[in-house]
Amino acid sequence: MPQTNRQVRLAVRPSGLPRLADWQFTNEAMPAPGPGEFVTKVSHLSIDPAMRGWMNAGASYVPPVDIGAVMRAGGIGRVTASHNDGFAVGDYVYGTFGVQEYAVSDGRGVLKLDLSLAEPTAYLGVLGMTGLTAYFGLLDTGRLKEGDTVVVSGAAGAVGSVAGQIAKIKGCRVIGIAGGQEKCRLVTEEFGLDAAIDYRLPHLRRTLRELAPGGVDVYFDNVGGEILDDVLTCLARGARIAICGAISQYNETQVRGPANYMMLLVAQASMTGFLVFDFASRYPEAMAELAGWYRAGRLVSRETLVTGSVEDFPETLLKLFEGANTGKLILALDG
């Protein structure tokens, strides 16, 4: 029987949380590489909050996924056939391969993984876009400096867990915000932050004031919404807020903006959004530093691995919005 390529395509643009009916499962013939191309058998898919935005129509930092197109996704895998001199059969690679079992590429935007540095899945987490986002958001956009009081939301998630640890490495006092007691335990005991606040409990603002009496110098925001509004009331003079994302808003039909933005004026603070892709020319320097910390045991990598097939993608994506992951959420493709 000829080998096939199972895929997940966007069928309908969702309103609110994506439903199973928003997806279409297809099964095509296994692709063959053309001149200058190679085929990768995808082993692991990166599951990202940004995927929800890519499903919407309208302008963003990347074009929306077209209706009927294979869902966009970062992934890693092994080259199984190649007509490209830069990529040999057996190479482990990272690329935007999409939610499918096999992907054809001409090598643009594809990175060969150095498995002497770390195991392959680390390139979706601490040594991948996740780690790079934390690194540049904190050090460049957040202009972090030693001795700062830093707050990170989504602190037990993929980017947040790395951001909190980098801030500790850089000599800051770091407070993580996460959902639930178990995640808060992880934030202090495993990621080594100084304190953690469970945002599901009442009085976040009061607790933050108690933990940061001198105010917050840097807020690395992954979640937006009410938590952003609370942190805005606790800023130190000259504070920097790095807007990494706003997962609390991604399934809302009406996005809620920060009501307390005038606190930026009061604290002479700034709030700046950033995109990791803007730092692409500096990825090598950041990866070298992240890899150094990782190998020295100073940066802990956490992954939530779901094992299944591409058909498990829709359900796995929802786990992000349910808070079911700690660290990087990855769909490992069996078979």
Q: Which residues bind ligand NAP (CB under 6 A)?
A: 48-50, 129-130, 133, 154, 156-160, 178-179, 183, 222-223, 244-248, 274-276, 320-321, 323, 325, 329
Note the helical H segments in the chain: 50-54, 129-136, 158-169, 181-189, 204-211, 225-232, 263-266, 283-295, 313-322
CB of 303 to ligand NAP, least distance (A): 10
Closest to ligand NAP by CB, 33 vs 125, is: 125
Question: CA-to-CA distance for 142 and 107, rounded, in angstroms?
Answer: 33
Closest to ligand NAP by CB, 98 vs 157, is: 157
DSSP 160-217: HHHHHHHHHHTT-EEEEEESSHHHHHHHHHTS--SEEEETTSS-HHHHHHHH-TT-EE
CB of 50 to ligand NAP, least distance (A): 5
Closest to ligand NAP by CB, 38 vs 135, is: 135
Residue number, nearest CB to ligand NAP = 245
CB of 90 to ligand NAP, least distance (A): 29
Q: Is the dihedral of CA 154, 130, 244, 211 positive or negative?
A: positive
CB of 116 to ligand NAP, least distance (A): 26
Question: CA-to-CA distance for 211 and 213, rounded, in angstroms?
Answer: 6
The backbone torsions φ and ψ at residue 297, rounded to the nearest 5 degrees and listed phi first, read 80, 15
CB of 125 to ligand NAP, least distance (A): 9
Closest to ligand NAP by CB, 7 vs 222, is: 222
Closest to ligand NAP by CB, 291 vs 320, is: 320
Closest to ligand NAP by CB, 91 vs 312, is: 312
Count CA within 13 A, CB hemisphere, residue 76: 23
Chain centre to alpha carbon of residue 41: 22
CB of 130 to ligand NAP, least distance (A): 6
